[in-house]
Amino acid sequence: MRCKTLTAAAVVLLMTTAGCSTLERVVYRPDINQGNYLVANDVSKIHTGMTQQQVAYTLGTPMMHDPFGSNVWYYVFRQEPGHQPVTQQTLTLTFDSNGVLTNIDNKPQLSSNKR
């Protein structure tokens, strides 16, 4: 009888901890940052009419180029802090055929209070 009680208690304990959903917040998860880290101050320095060299000097090299040419640059920053949801910042810069910046698309918009 005692063996059955211990076995039942062990099974119940195993079933309650099997998913570890209650212990998920206790387990350490490192912050994962990937891509081009940009701040609002850096983004505010670029404007239409700049050349590709000027933009690269200001922001650094882009994370991705347009796969069908070099007219679109993508600065992507993806952040996964520990147990919080993933956030992503994408800055898309479009250049004309002469390498002059014609369009800036910043989603979501960087605010001045972010670092």
Angstrom distance (rounded) from CA 111 to CA 108 = 9
C-beta of residue 91 within 8 angstroms of C-beta of residue 42: no
Q: Kindly report, residue by residue over 21-51, the tens digit of the pLDDT.
A: 566 667 788 888 888 888 889 889 999 999 9
Q: Kindly report, residue by residue over 52-62, the tens digit of the pLDDT.
A: 999 999 999 99
What pLDDT is stored for residue 59 in this prediction? 92
pLDDT for residue 108 is more than 70: yes
What pLDDT is stored for residue 114 in this prediction? 46
Cα–Cα nearest to 94, from 74, 76, 72: 72
Angstrom distance (rounded) from CA 33 to CA 56 = 21
More confident residue, 37 or 112: 37
C-beta of residue 37 within 8 angstroms of C-beta of residue 88: no
Angstrom distance (rounded) from CA 75 to CA 67 = 14
SS3 assignment, position 96: coil
What pLDDT is stored for residue 113 in this prediction? 45
* Residue 101's pLDDT band (cuts 50, 70, 90): very high
What pLDDT is stored for residue 111 in this prediction? 53
Q: Is 20 left (phi over 0), alpha (psi -120 to 50) or beta?
A: left
Q: List phi, psi (to 5°) of 101.
A: -65, 125
